[in-house]
Amino acid sequence: MRKQQDAGRGKVPPIHFFRELLLESNIICGVDGVSVQELFDMMLDRMKRTSPELDIDKARNALMEREELIPTIIAPGLAVPHARIDGIKKPYLALACSPSGIDFHSELGLGNVVVLFLSPAEEPTLHLQILASLASAFKQSDFAGSLSSMRRPEDVIEAFGDGALPTLIK
């Protein structure tokens, strides 16, 4: 948690704590044939298992409100639904891989990798740093495509290495 707190204050480059936020238990591989809302429910349920204090109804509502404003596909194959939530004390992150993609109703296409995160509303800098960390991690154009076909959470973790750069593509 110390690195996350420091990152929120701008002391640690954000890319170094991305891997720290990504728990193997919050990774879902092989997701197909579900709606955005069903996917959010699956991902939030995973988060709740490791963080029972998380109010998933509040998080679901915030995510769906954000999604109605603008789809969260930020690059071909990559969706990053996110919300700032009042009352949470730390960021939460889950990742889903979908070989056939999830329809976010975006001009950029389907989401083959979905990185859902929640951050404390009181820490907007931390929220932006997580977004920057994700942008850096996914900067290689075919990284999301490589992740989308992975079948095991431990392979996804390994692909991120130490969090500094994806290790699938050199």
Three-state secondary structure string covering the chain: CHHHHHHHCCCCCCHHHHHHHCCHHHEECCCCCCCHHHHHHHHHHHHHHHCCCCCHHHHHHHHHHHHHHCCCEEECEEECCEEEECCCCCCEEEEEEEEEEECCCCCCCCEEEEEEEEEECCCHHHHHHHHHHHHHHCCCCCHHHHHHCCCCHHHHHHHHCCCCCCCCCC
> What is the average per-residue pLDDT within 129-150?
82
pTM, entire model: 0.83
pLDDT of 170 > 50? The answer is: no
Confidence of residue 13 (pLDDT cuts 50, 70, 90): very low
Of the pLDDT bands very low, low, confident and very high (cuts 50, 70, 90), residue 164 is very low
Find the range with the poorest average confidence among 18-32, 87-101, 127-141: 127-141
